[in-house]
Structure 1
Amino acid sequence: MRANNAEYQAVEDAAMKFVKSVAEANSSYAKELFVDEAVLFGYLDGRLEHGSIEQFYRNVDTVGAGNDFNARIDIVSIEETVAVVRVLEENWGGRIDFTDYLLLLKMDGEWRCVAKAYNQNSNTVQK
């Protein structure tokens, strides 16, 4: 059964915490979204990052997004208790483009992120 528009808005609002953290270089918003046990997987400048979401928080807090940063949220799918969100990021840190996939779970009536997987566009990789 398709979720109603209010549920789509709730998922988008949750994902905006992720975007706001990245845009403002302040992980506090993302910490409201991610559960403590959340994991991340992806390659940053050719090096595999995997494990605790704490790595994402450190990256966000130490690299400013830059004036040209922009992002787009696409809701890929919503089921009763699970949602998949794609976030397109451009010019993070002034040079990196990412595609992030966030896996959200509805817990106690609130959408929370349990996993983040991402791709860095190959033309933005520096080694």
Structure 2
Amino acid sequence: MRDKIQEYAAVEAAAMKFVNSVAEGNSTYAKELFTEDAVLFGILDGVMERGSIERFYNNVDTVGAGDNFKARIDVLAVEETVAVVRVLEEGWGGRIDFTDFLLLLKLDGEWRCVAKAYNQNSNTIKHI
């Protein structure tokens, strides 16, 4: 059952922790959002990334977002205890555009992310 509109705002606020971490190059905010056992999947510059969310934290902490970084949060669905969020990123690290999908669960009354899957826009891939 679709949840109340106020719950969409709570999910958006949770996802903002992700955006703030990326924008500031500081994983501290994201660590409040993701569960300890959260997973990551995606292809970065043609190389498959999968596994622990620690990979994401490392990327955030070692590559600054850049002065022209922009992000948009779209809350796609909120269904009582599960939510799906799409985050559009432009200019991460000064060159990469991403579309991230975050899967959140409501755990002990708080929206927490359990999985992140992403697409790197093909026109921003740096071939290694």
* Pairwise same-fold verdict (TM > 0.5): yes
**Separation in 2, partners of 1:29, 1:83:** 19
**Separation in 2, partners of 1:5, 1:90:** 27
Residues 63-107 of structure 1: CA distance to partner in whole angstroms, max 9, x if unpaired? 000010000000111101000000000000000000000000000
Say whether 1:43 aligns with 2:43.
yes
Opposite residue 112 of structure 2, the aligned amino acid is: R
**Displacement over 2 Å in runs of 4+:** none
Aligned to 1:30: 30
Give the superposition deviation at 1:4.
1.3
- Provide the alpha-carbon RMSD of the alignment: 0.5
Opposite residue 115 of structure 1, the aligned amino acid is: A
The unaligned stretches of length 5 or more in structure 1 are: none
Aligned to 1:79: 79
Aligned to 1:4: 4
Give the superposition deviation at 1:2.
2.4
TM-score (norm 2): 0.98
The unaligned stretches of length 5 or more in structure 2 are: none
Residues 23-77 of structure 1: CA distance to partner in whole angstroms, max 9, x if unpaired? 0000000000000000000000000000000000000000000010000000111
**Separation in 2, partners of 1:116, 1:2:** 22
Equivalent position SS for 1:64: coil
